[in-house]
Structure 1
Amino acid sequence: MKKVLLSAVAIFAFGFANAQETKFGVKAGLNMANLTGDVEDNSMKVGFHVGGFAEIKISDKFAVQPELLYSTQGTKFDGGSYDFNYLNIPVMAKFFATEQFSIEAGPQIGFLMSAKINPDNGDSVDVKDELKSMDFGLNFGLGYDFTENFSAGARYNFGFSNIIDAEDSGELKNGVISVSVGYKF
């Protein structure tokens, strides 16, 4: 995972050094989150993400887009939900197949801000101390620029790391489908 992060930093630094154009923007959208691994009878939990980004054009066909996003994640289960809040930092490499359409991929690090189990018939239970404070994943997605300023995108985050902190307690990984709209300044 360290190699992935170092590669992302290298791409980010290269992008600043050779950038043709940099645009800043804001984005928000819908999350459909789930957990995979040692969990049964769970289903997607609907949430949201909101934050900002910088699109750093390296050439007409390539850009690097670091982002800072507040993201609600978790899963639903019979009788309640796991509700996790993350501060995610994806760094997306964007290939523009056309002037408006892009294919995106890149690593993501997430910092756990809060974690609760919310049963349908009781008080919520804080479980943040039982989970790891960082999550690593890889994003794949598509983007479309409707105008010079307005865009939309969809991506999937494959969680790589086990988010459970205790050893021999099983394995849980985040998986999030995100659909967003963005505005570049």
Structure 2
Amino acid sequence: MKKLVVVLIIILCFIATASAQVRFGVKAGGNLSFLYTSGSNQGINADQYNGRFGYHFGGMLEYSLSEMFSIQPELMYLNHGANLKKENSFGMKDGQITLNTLQLPINLKAKFNLGQSDSKLFVYGGPYVGYNMYGKVAGKIDGAKVDNKLYAKDSNMKRFDYGFGIGVGIEMKKFVLTLGNQYGANDISGSEKGKMRAGHVSLSAGYFF
């Protein structure tokens, strides 16, 4: 995966020096995130997670390869995680796992004209890498609030993440509306008792300058 990202970055640099059409933009939106698990992590069994609403925002570039195809790297700040359905083995209730991640997706995008209008339908897919900057498990134990950091010095949780994303959207001149899905391929739990992978479904709006 690391080698693939390096190759894609080299390709982007070559495209830029070849004077390809480049657009800069911003995007933001909401996401419904999940933690896909097996075994037991953070005292929580695999069937005890619910989806959690979060948000994302950041910048994007579009390198046009042709009228139809382009490559779009993004740098996004992602707030995601999961809610706990029931009490875990530590006695925590009303729990929530929160992750704050800096993410770099690199997508190949294909556009299709919608009749005679200026609007276009597009689909995309590609890998991403991410760095989990901050994380916590918050809830209540015996009625008292508890807030435990996931990346403390004694934590085994992994900060580095990677995976794959796909999506579809509509482009209306400079405005874009996107529905996307990401699935993490890396086990971020750092635990021998189980595995944990992050994923989410997102809806975002963007604007190209």
1:103 to 101, 114, 123: 123
Distance 1:152 1:112 in 2: 26
Partner of 2:178: 153
Distance 1:160 1:108 in 2: 10
Partner of 1:45: 52
Alpha-carbon offset, residue 14 of structure 1 = 3.9
Q: What is the Cα-based RMSD across aligned positions, in Å? A: 1.6
Residues 83-162 of structure 1 correspond to what in structure 2 (within 5 A)?
83-98=98-113, 100-120=120-140, 122-128=145-151, 129-146=155-172, 148-162=173-187
Q: Is the 8 A contact 1:15 1:64 kept in 2?
A: no
Q: Which runs of 4 or more aligned residues in structure 1 lie more than 4 Å from their structure 2 counterparts after TM superposition?
A: none
Partner of 1:27: 27
Residues 1:19 and 1:58: Cα distance change in structure 2 (over 3 Å): farther
**1:21-72, Cα deviation, whole Å (9 max, x unpaired):** 1110110001110010222121110000000011111110111111011001
Distance 2:18 2:166 in 1: 24
Distance 2:134 2:193 in 1: 20
Matched pairs, number = 183
Alpha-carbon offset, residue 170 of structure 1 = 1.3
Alpha-carbon offset, residue 20 of structure 1 = 3.1
Partner amino acid, structure 1, of 2:130 = G
Partner amino acid, structure 1, of 2:104 = I
Alpha-carbon offset, residue 140 of structure 1 = 0.4
Q: Is the 8 A contact 1:158 1:174 kept in 2?
A: yes
Alpha-carbon offset, residue 169 of structure 1 = 3.1
| Rg larger in structure | 2
Distance 1:169 1:97 in 2: 47
Partner SS for 1:29: strand
Distance 2:159 2:55 in 1: 20
Distance 1:31 1:54 in 2: 21
Partner SS for 2:6: helix
Residues 1:19 and 1:43: Cα distance change in structure 2 (over 3 Å): farther
Distance 1:139 1:65 in 2: 12
Q: Which runs of 5+ in 2 are unaligned?
A: 39-45, 86-93, 114-118
Structure 1 residue 180 and structure 2 residue 200: aligned?
A: no
Distance 1:159 1:11 in 2: 24
Q: Which runs of 5+ in 1 are unaligned?
A: none
Alpha-carbon offset, residue 19 of structure 1 = 5.0
Partner amino acid, structure 1, of 2:100 = N
